Amino acid sequence: MRIDILTLFPEMFQAVLGQSMLKLAREKELVSYHLWNIRDYTLDKHKKVDDRPYGGGPGMVMTPEPVFRAIEEVERDDSEPARKVLLTPQGERFTQSTAEALSREKRLMLVCGHYEGFDERIRQGFDFLEISIGDYVLSGGETPAMVVIDAVVRLVPGVLGDEDSPEVESFKNGLLEYPQYTKPREFRGLKVPDVLISGHHERIQQWREDQAQERTRIKRPDLLKRPGPKTVSR
Ligand code: 4GX
């Protein structure tokens, strides 16, 4: 998978993409990251990327020219057409289902806005999948883009080993994860449940299922009555 990231702050991504699973995925050549600075696509000598809103009001709005030029030029950098994603509070909520659908794409282009928003004509000019990571206001689309990249890349086949196969983890079956323990068997008076030491694989499996059910019922009852799988529309 190829991931193009268009942003005014490419440096924000260096640490996140250069560590742990996202770095390993790139080293295994299962994914490539391409960072592009929208400011490099300005045409004026002041490299202006934002301006005051027509009609007045607070804040600044990203100007269309550099964003259009960046998206068009980056698209042409590869013959594979990019699924374009805009991070915005107006988008559809990002879930594990969205991540699964996006993990099947060959090429993603994530467009990160900053300031109060985008000139509306940017939305009109391209076929974006608009994604929101949650109902709160952030200062830019960069941190949401990192969330999307993390959730998507770990689902790309071959990125995770068998040990932490994404199938067994939270949300795949619509439930929260069961409690996990490692050594020591007793820590500050707190013991590991006997069933996990028993070696009875069937009983362990049953205990984990029961724990996941009960935990979900208590902490996230909303997950027990959710709709089925979702697909990303073009
Ligand atoms: N989940 N923000 C984007 C600026 C902006 C606005 C409109 C493009 C179009 C957010 C979220 C989020 C704040 C990111 C405003 N860019 N994005 N930014 N919550 O709050 O995704």
Contacts of 145 (CB under 8 A, 6+ apart): 5, 7, 13, 85, 87, 110, 112
Asked whether residue 228 carries a pLDDT value surpassing 80, the answer given is no
Place 168 in a pLDDT band, splitting at 50, 70 and 90.
Answer: very low
What residues are paired with 5 via a beta bridge?
Answer: 35, 110
Asked whether residue 175 carries a pLDDT value surpassing 80, the answer given is yes
Least confidently predicted of 43-57, 95-109, 149-163: 149-163
Q: How far is CA 146 from CA 5, 109, 118, 141, 229, in A?
A: 10, 13, 20, 9, 23
Residue nearest to atom 15 of ligand 1 (CA): 140
Asked whether residue 230 carries a pLDDT value surpassing 80, the answer given is no
Strand, helix or coil for residue 5: strand
According to DSSP, the β-strands at 186-187 and 190-191 are antiparallel
* Cα gap 165→160, rounded to integer Å: 6
For the CA of 114, the closest atom of ligand 1 is: 4
Q: What would the mean pLDDT of 73-92 be, rounded to a whole number?
A: 98
For 105-140, write each residue's pLDDT tens digit.
999 999 999 988 899 999 999 999 999 999 999 999
User: Which pTM was predicted?
Assistant: 0.93
Q: What's the pLDDT at 216? A: 98
Q: What's the pLDDT at 147? A: 98
For the CA of 113, the closest atom of ligand 1 is: 16
Q: What's the pLDDT at 19? A: 98
Give the chain's mean pLDDT.
94
Beta strands in 47-145 (DSSP E): 50-51, 61-62, 83-93, 107-111, 117-118, 128-132
DSSP label at residue 133: S
Whole-number Å distance, alpha carbon 210 to ligand 1 midpoint, is: 39
Q: What would the mean pLDDT of 156-185 be, rounded to a whole number?
A: 81
Residue nearest to atom 7 of ligand 1 (CA): 117
* Cα gap 1→217, rounded to integer Å: 37
Q: Which two tokens stand for residue 55?
A: 């009609």
Contacts of 88 (CB under 8 A, 6+ apart): 113, 117, 118, 130, 131, 132, 141
Q: What's the pLDDT at 116? A: 84
Q: What's the pLDDT at 161? A: 85
* Cα gap 25→160, rounded to integer Å: 8
For 131-166, write each residue's pLDDT tens digit.
999 999 999 999 999 999 999 999 999 999 864 565
* Cα gap 121→167, rounded to integer Å: 40
According to DSSP, the β-strands at 61-62 and 50-51 are antiparallel
Q: What's the pLDDT at 129? A: 98
Q: What would the mean pLDDT of 173-194 be, rounded to a whole number?
A: 97
* Cα gap 36→10, rounded to integer Å: 7
Q: How far is CA 71 from CA 6, 23, 123, 199, 220, in A?
A: 8, 25, 12, 56, 39
For the CA of 135, the closest atom of ligand 1 is: 19
Whole-number Å distance, alpha carbon 147 to ligand 1 midpoint, is: 13
Whole-number Å distance, alpha carbon 142 to ligand 1 midpoint, is: 9
Q: What's the pLDDT at 173? A: 81
Place 8 in a pLDDT band, splitting at 50, 70 and 90.
Answer: very high
Asked whether residue 172 carries a pLDDT value surpassing 50, the answer given is yes
Domains along the sequence of the chain with CATH: 2-153 (3.40.1280.10), 165-224 (1.10.1270.20)
